[in-house]
Structure 1
Amino acid sequence: MVAALATMALAASTQTENRIYVNSEDVASEESLRGLYERWYRLYRPGGDPANKEKRFAIFKAEVRAVYELNQGDTRVKHHLNWFEDMTQGEYAKYFANCSPREIRPFGDIPEMNRHQPSQYYPDKLPRTVDWRTVEGVLTSVKNQGNCSSCWAISAAEAMESVHFLKNKQRTNLSAQELVDCTPNSYGCKGGWASRAFQHVIDRRGIHSSEQYPYVGKAQYCDPPSVSPVMSIKKFHFVQPRNEKMLMDAVAHNPVVVLIVGAETMNFKHYSGGIYRGPCGMDTKHEALLVGYGTTPSDDSNDPGAEYWVVKNSWGDSWGEKGYMRLARGHQDYGGLCGIMLDPMYPSHPKKLNHAYA
């Protein structure tokens, strides 16, 4: 059932101009909630099953009231209705917030050649702001994983897309589906590891484009096309954990795959803007792409500005700030908010390919 809901949402979730916010009139009565549901359903579940629609109305009402209450609290962060509204919290957590069973590898066990080497600007001369969204070609469009727990494959593909462009000036959508179907020792649409996706591309000497091997949002038999892959990498590197400036140094050079711990909370689920300051749960692990950092302007001497990370998610551009989140920086000793500094990594040495797939 969740698969069917997510499939419909996959097609409808790019309509960010039609975001639905909740006001007091919407939650005033059963009738007003029904009207809001009809409006939401037309946007996110076109062509849905009428019988299932009625079954899901009770879930929707509870979600709407929760979103309304969230917006009565910290006004610095916004929450709106998105394509998760008729899924239970358990369904959301299972399929969308828990797509990586990553265990944190001790940094001391990682060979020196696979560790991020700080630049000449580390630690005191780092740029004040980095935002790869502002550099044309580095990032491709925001993806929607659908009901497939493929965040690990999408974030790995996007990291390789970025380093490929930065070195070779070639903008290419890489096949997350190929990583889902073909990465050894991963679980496809039941979760996986970006590090194993990187290693797979190294071992197979390449990855195809999404045009050659399109994303379908479900696990399939591994069947790469006979045409040549479009690029490969030679290595991937781990960034020293619990070191904010080291992570800033890494993302100043290229986007970085990061672990997000505890995305199962109601606040995270409905985030739509502002700097997210928590809460973060403890039970789930998600992977996303870190694409920058910054500090909000200071309003006066009592407000020095808020420091944040910029994260690209894989839940479509109707979630968050057009698919992105600003996550508060700090909490270094604990691995950063939502564990963002616990296990960062990125690919390197990208190269264009013109040989037959082997």
Structure 2
Amino acid sequence: MSTKILCSSLLFLTITMGVWSCLVASSRVTFDYQNSMRLRHQQWMAHHGKVYADASEEDMRFNVFKNNVERIETFNAGPDKGYKLGVNKYADLTNEEFRWLHIGGFVRRDEEAGLVSAAKSKPFRYANATGLPSAVDWRKKGAVTPIKQQGDCGSCWAFAAVAAVEGIHQLKTGKLLSLSTQELVDCDGKNYGCNGGYPNHAFQFIVNNNGLTTEENYPYKGKDGVCKAMGTAQKVAKISGYDKVPSKNETALMQAVAHQPVAVLIDGGDFDFQFYKKGVFSGECKSSTDHVVTVVGYGTAGDENKYWVIKNSWGTTWGENGYMKIQRDYADESGLCGLAKAAYYPTM
């Protein structure tokens, strides 16, 4: 065998071995990554008490989890947008599933038009409010109860309405009471229980019902139930009515929030909203509303980064311990995620 042939054979063998080594190394990295992600998923399951029906469902949920985690980490590693995402308890759900299970403030367009026009005849009581504070946080004023959890029931409308009533009741009486959301879910026939609803309908029910009872007296079940007359007998918080903030007007919303917590409709179903962790949210979302939250304050981060503070009903593991800071004075008059389109507050 000639030296040239020998050298060529050795070169071919070297290249082949090199390629094989790279493939083995690549396979090992992929294997290690999969194992690492599997372990991460199992730890996440244990932390959130997740149990699946069988191995097939666990595999399917693992793949959803992995895709969500990768997308979250890619976002956080990218250019700083002023907010971060986090791997929360919704990490094994696709965005479509998340919307279906956890968004419950849907708006039927035919009804929304009637609700907005009907509210126009009532004057906005805070229209002449001036000299507003640069920052408000009703949590610090003792007018906000701890974060609650709606679970797989689309009852956000009830939680938002209750939070607003808890707020005005504390401001007027000095007593902060945790009121019953389940009473609204079970007894408010104008709304749709776990299938969604409107905070203004909830306020009207509370007026007609001569108030609400406490959470302790009528605890939350996270599902539709039969209205329990005995459970609703003891009314502890009453309102006289409700008002609507002028639509598509963040200045008016600020005037209202400066005086009390306000329930607002919002688009809460997009990926970044689902996995929001901290910072001032400014992500892409729609102006069509499908969720209801309570605005419990506003402020400014840095020199110009204005935000609203919203109380959600997805537990403390979502967002900043259950709250979100979301961009204020957005370019679109509807507000970011449509939060200025339909806002309501109870009166006493």
TM-score by length of 1: 0.82
1:116 is matched with 124
CA separation in 1, counterparts of 2:140 and 2:237? 24
The total of aligned residue pairs comes to 314
Note the aligned Cα RMSD (angstroms). 2.2
The partner residue of 1:30 within 28, 34, 37 is: 34
1:310 is matched with 309
Change beyond 3 A, Cα 1:259–1:86: same
Secondary structure, counterpart of 1:37 in structure 2? helix
1:134 deviates by: 1.3
For 1:167, give the aligned amino acid: K
Are 2:211 and 2:238, in contact at CA under 8 Å, matched by a contact in 1?
A: yes
CA separation in 2, counterparts of 1:246 and 1:27? 56
Change beyond 3 A, Cα 1:347–1:32: same
* 2:94 paired with 1:91: no
CA separation in 2, counterparts of 1:88 and 1:47? 17
Structure 1 spans left out of the alignment, 5+ residues = 1-24, 299-304, 350-358
Secondary structure, counterpart of 1:231 in structure 2? coil
1:155 deviates by: 0.5
1:127 is matched with 133
1:339 deviates by: 0.7
1:302 is matched with none
CA separation in 2, counterparts of 1:195 and 1:246? 18
1:159 is matched with 164
1:280 deviates by: 0.5
Are 1:264 and 1:284, in contact at CA under 8 Å, matched by a contact in 2?
A: no
1:56 is matched with 61
TM-score by length of 2: 0.84
Aligned pairs for 1:296-335 within 5 A: 296-298=301-303, 305-331=304-330, 333-335=332-334
Are 2:132 and 2:255, in contact at CA under 8 Å, matched by a contact in 1?
A: yes
* 2:240 paired with 1:234: yes
Are 2:263 and 2:294, in contact at CA under 8 Å, matched by a contact in 1?
A: yes
For 2:105, give the aligned amino acid: C
For 2:298, give the aligned amino acid: Y
Aligned pairs for 1:178-327 within 5 A: 178-225=183-230, 227-261=233-267, 263-281=268-286, 285-298=290-303, 305-327=304-326
Secondary structure, counterpart of 1:189 in structure 2? coil
CA separation in 2, counterparts of 1:95 and 1:283? 18
* Greater Cα shift, 51-60 or 273-282: 51-60
1:16 is matched with none
- Between structures 1 and 2, the one with greater helix share: 2
Are 1:312 and 1:323, in contact at CA under 8 Å, matched by a contact in 2?
A: yes
* 2:42 paired with 1:42: no
CA separation in 2, counterparts of 1:222 and 1:90? 31
Are 1:26 and 1:32, in contact at CA under 8 Å, matched by a contact in 2?
A: no
Structure 2 spans left out of the alignment, 5+ residues = 1-28
CA separation in 2, counterparts of 1:118 and 1:253? 8
Secondary structure, counterpart of 1:29 in structure 2? helix
1:241-267 deviation line (CA, Å, top 9, x unaligned)? 122221111001100001112x22111
Task: State which structure, 1 or 2, has the greater radius of gyration over its C-alpha atoms.
Answer: 2
Are 2:289 and 2:337, in contact at CA under 8 Å, matched by a contact in 1?
A: no
CA separation in 2, counterparts of 1:232 and 1:67? 43
Are 1:290 and 1:311, in contact at CA under 8 Å, matched by a contact in 2?
A: yes
1:27 deviates by: 11
1:70 deviates by: 1.5
1:215-270 deviation line (CA, Å, top 9, x unaligned)? 01000111132542112111101011122221111001100001112x22111111
Change beyond 3 A, Cα 1:26–1:191: farther
1:37 deviates by: 0.6
